[in-house]
Amino acid sequence: QTPEAWASELEQAIGHAADHLSLYQLTIEEGTPFHALHAAKKFIIPDNDHAADLYALTQEITTAHGLPAYEISNHARPGAESRHNLTYWRYGEYVGVGPGAHGRFVEHGRRTVTIAERMPETWANLVEAKGHGVTGG
C-alpha cells in the first residue's frame, strides 16, 4: 500500500468517524489463512521501515483532524477516548462476559483474573453445567 493510497483511505475513514478511530496494523498469526498466504508470498505486508512511515503518516493526518493518538492504535477527540481501553491499559477493573472474555477485578481484597472458554459451544455447555464459562485465571 502506498502512502498516498493509505492517506486517501484514512481521510475517508475520518470522514465517517465521529470522535474515535481505531487503526490496527494486521498481525500475521501462525496457523491462520493469512499466515499460509504470507508464507507462500501471496500476501505481502509492509516491512518495518514502510510500516513506520505509514504509522508516522497516520499520526500526522489524525492529529491534523483533531484525533490525536491516546494509545498506539487508537485516536480520539479529547474526552472521547474509549473508557474500556483506558481501563485496560491503566490496569483497572473490568468483568469479561462471554466466550473468550477476560476479566480483572478486585474480589474480597484480592486481584482476580478470569479467562473464559474461547469456543462458543463449549462455553455454553460450561455455563449450563457450572453456571459460568470461566476456565482459567
- Secondary structure (DSSP) of 62-78: HHHTT--BSSSSEEE-T
Confidence of residue 24 (pLDDT cuts 50, 70, 90): very high
Q: Which residues contact 61 (CB under 8 A, 6 or more apart)?
A: 7, 10, 11, 14
Alpha-carbon dihedral sign for residues 27, 77, 70, 102: negative
DSSP SS3 for 20: strand
Asked if 114 contacts 137 with a C-beta cutoff of 8 angstroms, the reply is yes
pLDDT at 29 over 90: yes
Mean pLDDT score, 61-68? 97
Paired sense of beta strands 74-76 and 20-22, if any = antiparallel
pLDDT, one tens digit per residue, over 69-88 is 999 999 999 999 999 889 98
Asked if 76 contacts 26 with a C-beta cutoff of 8 angstroms, the reply is no
